[in-house]
Amino acid sequence: MKKLEYAFYIGAEPKEVWDVLFDPKLSIRAFMGGVIRSSLKVGDSIEFVGPGKDGDEIVFIYGQLLEYVPHKVLSYTDHPGPTHHVRHAELESRVTLTLDKVGKCTRLHLINDQWTDNHPLYESADQYWWMILSHIKTIVETGKFLDFGY
């Protein structure tokens, strides 16, 4: 089974890392223009939304919230938004992000697994996770944003 897995150590408390995920002023930069929209109740929907090329709001990713423990765990099913792939409803994976305190640092551990067979976005997901996670680390530790040219 295909699986993407990453671990980053960030010089901050778990709450500070969590804030970058959920504070729209920070997450919009970390997620390259998107923010999380969800009731944060397990079983409800979760979306990563932001402006499209023409400025209208689009859904980059959508799914169902599987687990949510503030400052600790975020897990959801992941479908590419309708503008990213015509077969978006058929294409799915699972994303699980955990934060653990390690000394005076936070270990951010992300697993993206349970990919549907022949998922066409698997290869590009690896590149984007590295960028997103690097961005989260930079924002938390320095308050600055990386410029990937997007």
pLDDT per position as a tens digit, 65-87: 999 999 999 999 999 999 888 88
- Domain 4-142 annotated CATH 3.60.20.10: no
Report the candidate in 45, 80, 40 with the shortest Cα–Cα distance to residue 60: 80
At 75 the pLDDT is 98
Indicate the SS3 state at residue 81.
coil
pTM assigned to the model: 0.93
11-65 tens-digit pLDDT: 999 999 999 999 988 888 888 778 999 999 999 999 999 888 887 889 999 999 9
